[in-house]
Amino acid sequence: MTTPFQHEPGSAAGPVPPPQCPAHGMGIGPGGLRRLYGPEAESDPAGLYEKLRAEHGTVAPVLMHGDVPAWLVLGHSENLQLTRTPSQFSRDSRRWHALRDGSVAADHPLAPIFTWQPVCSFAEGETHERLRGAVTDSIARIDTRGVRRHINRYSNRLVNDFCQEGHADLVSQFAEQLPMMVMCAIVGMPEDYSERLVEAARDLTRGTETAIASNAFLVDTLNRLVERRRETPAEDFATWLVEHPAALTDKEVAEHLRVVLIVAYETTTNLIANVLRMVLTDPRFRARLSGGHMTVPEAVEQTLWDEPPFTSILGRWAVGDTELGGQQIKAGDALIVGIAPANTDPVVRPDLTAGMEGNRAHMAFSSGPHECPGQDIGRAIADVGVDALLMRLPDLELSVDEDKLTWVGNFVSRHLVDLPASFAPSPQQKIDDEPLPAMARSRAATDWEVASPGRKSPGGAVPAGHAPAGVRTADPLAASAQGALIPGQRTGRTKIWHAVVRWWNGH
């Protein structure tokens, strides 16, 4: 069985393009393989994916930071196979031959992502079921209406900080702040929310020189939280993990809190920023939204297709020698789930301009047994947050030319640096002083997705767990989430419609 990875870190390098070659310095590394890092990869990842697709098909050999070899899976069906067959492709990074032979050092910039930890995202079989069960059971205890109140209140608090100025950077002043504020409240550490925490979360997934230190800061913060919750339980996610019948150790609790906090933060920050960028730069997108032809939840779903929060995920590791997408994969090889390229696979999406609202076949939250269990929390933060911002500042306009916008990141995520916007100054809104609502459910379970209406299938049935197209929850206490309206959208409802909605939601 052959492999294109003739170059391995720490060994003699394979053929390198000569200095005069046009490929030199253009994202081509040892062995003629394309790099997933560097200026070319960061400035035009979509272009890189298409080059790889043209050269190798649905699975391509690539180089990560430090020219560490891996396979990037580009095809939609191949990504489904990768994520849905743990017997062939494991999440246990200890299988990686580059780790076993010392080719990849413990201080590698991507170590916070691939270093094995006692969490469900690195486990398989019974261990995975035990750990993931603790996470999903704890998520199920969250009161969706209470969290939506948190999101709306925090959103308005952030808008109050700049609404009188007439201008703001919607990334640093809103998109990067709101998810951490909400997640700190859910996890049980609102007092720990700080700019330092935001910076650490932003830093540790990007392969920077300070990623290790940022990760250590976050882990130390969460370890202290676990100690507090062992001594003083509360109605929050940390306590529910501590008290779960699965009997997680303190380290297991802290590491799961870390994964939940970081994944939710990074994905939701990018999602909010990308939705707002689409609103401010695409006239058709904004016209459909403001004209009532698209709801904010539908706009979020469209963005999950076009600009997924995570562009790819490391990783999976081959359990044994196998084949994927026509490529021969060796046991211990690293594979990258190609979220963004899967979403643009011409086999499943031949027309990239076609609207995808209501279609959740995207790979934005991965798939299979390791699919993101908290994805609808992220959807809720984006739905309610974007709606609250647009309700307060309906005349938002981009302050610079679109081509002046810049991104940073690595192959894992693409982060908008800033989104300067202008608007007519408006007064601050009073934020009530009542205590924030409890996080625990006080009633029967509801669906996080009630604000993200689904589409009917060709047969006329509605997918389980989704409201009919256009139906929103009849919960008057979650007005910010249920309507997801901006000025100019339809708002009228009849008593009959109220009755239908209440019936659909089981009231």
- How far apart CA 273 and CA 462 sit, in angstroms, is 30
Cβ neighbours of residue 134 closer than 8 Å, sequence gap 6 or more: 120, 241, 244, 246, 248, 256
- Which residue from 265, 284, 274, 135 is spatially nearest to 202, judged by alpha carbons? 265
- How far apart CA 421 and CA 399 sit, in angstroms, is 5
Q: How far, rounded to the nearest angstrom, does the alpha carbon of residue 14 sit from its chain's CA centroid?
A: 36
How many alpha carbons lie under 13 Å from residue 255 in its C-beta half-sphere? 18
Q: Identity (one letter) of the amino acid at 465?
A: G
- Which residue from 18, 32, 93, 77 is spatially nearest to 343, judged by alpha carbons? 77
- Which residue from 43, 76, 67, 29 is spatially nearest to 349, judged by alpha carbons? 76
- Which residue from 17, 54, 16, 48 is spatially nearest to 35, judged by alpha carbons? 48
DSSP string, 395-409: T-EESS-GGG--EEE
pLDDT, residue 475, reads 36
pLDDT, residue 507, reads 42
Percent of the chain exceeding pLDDT 90 equals 53
CB atoms within 10 A of CB 370: 22
- How far apart CA 280 and CA 278 sit, in angstroms, is 5
- Which residue from 203, 221, 223 is spatially nearest to 212, judged by alpha carbons? 203
- How far apart CA 333 and CA 435 sit, in angstroms, is 51
CB atoms within 10 A of CB 423: 18
User: Residue 115 corresponds to which tokens in the numbers above?
Assistant: 């270093």
CB atoms within 10 A of CB 502: 13
Entry pTM: 0.78
pLDDT, residue 132, reads 95
In the three-class reduction of DSSP (H, G, I as helix; E, B as strand; rest coil), residue 260 is classed as: helix
Helix count and strand count (H, E) for the chain = 18, 13
Q: What's the CA dihedral at 150, 152, 155, 156 to 10 degrees? A: -120
CB atoms within 10 A of CB 1: 9
List residues bridging with 327 in a β-sheet. Answer: 324
- Which residue from 238, 237, 213 is spatially nearest to 224, judged by alpha carbons? 238
pLDDT, residue 405, reads 94
User: Residue 468 corresponds to which tokens in the numbers above?
Assistant: 């009919």
CB 261 within 8 A of CB 222: yes
CB 140 within 8 A of CB 134: no
Rounded to 5, what percent of the chain is helix, strand, coil? 45, 10, 45
- How far apart CA 42 and CA 47 sit, in angstroms, is 10
pLDDT, residue 76, reads 97
Report CA-CA distances (Å) from 387 to 108, 382, 390, 484. 40, 8, 5, 5
CB 374 within 8 A of CB 262: no
> What is the tens place of the pLDDT at every residue in 172-225?
999 999 999 999 999 998 888 888 888 888 777 665 678 788 888 998 999 999
pLDDT, residue 25, reads 47
Q: Identity (one letter) of the amino acid at 192?
A: D
Backbone Cα Rg of the chain: 23
Q: One digit per residue, pLDDT tens: the chain, 507 residues?
A: 334 444 443 333 333 334 334 343 458 888 899 999 888 888 889 999 999 999 999 999 999 988 999 999 999 999 999 999 999 999 999 999 999 888 888 788 788 788 888 889 999 999 999 999 999 999 999 988 889 988 999 999 999 999 999 999 999 999 999 999 999 999 998 888 888 888 888 777 665 678 788 888 998 999 999 999 999 999 999 999 999 999 999 999 999 999 888 888 889 999 999 999 999 998 877 778 777 778 888 889 999 999 999 999 988 999 999 999 999 999 999 999 999 999 999 999 999 888 887 788 899 999 999 998 889 899 999 999 999 999 999 999 999 999 999 988 777 888 899 999 999 999 999 886 544 555 565 434 444 433 333 333 334 433 333 333 333 333 333 333 333 333 333 333 333 434 433 434 444
- How far apart CA 389 and CA 409 sit, in angstroms, is 26
pLDDT, residue 506, reads 41
Instruction: List b or e across 282-314, with b for residues whose CB sees 16 or more CB atoms inside 10 angstroms.
Output: eeebbebbbeeebbbbbbbbbbbbbbbbbbbbb
pLDDT, residue 154, reads 94
> What is the tens place of the pLDDT at every residue in 398-421?
999 999 999 887 778 888 999 999
User: Residue 322 corresponds to which tokens in the numbers above?
Assistant: 């196998």
- How far apart CA 8 and CA 31 sit, in angstroms, is 10
User: Residue 485 corresponds to which tokens in the numbers above?
Assistant: 């309206």
- How far apart CA 126 and CA 356 sit, in angstroms, is 36
Paired sense of beta strands 34-35 and 59-64, if any: parallel
CB 342 within 8 A of CB 74: yes
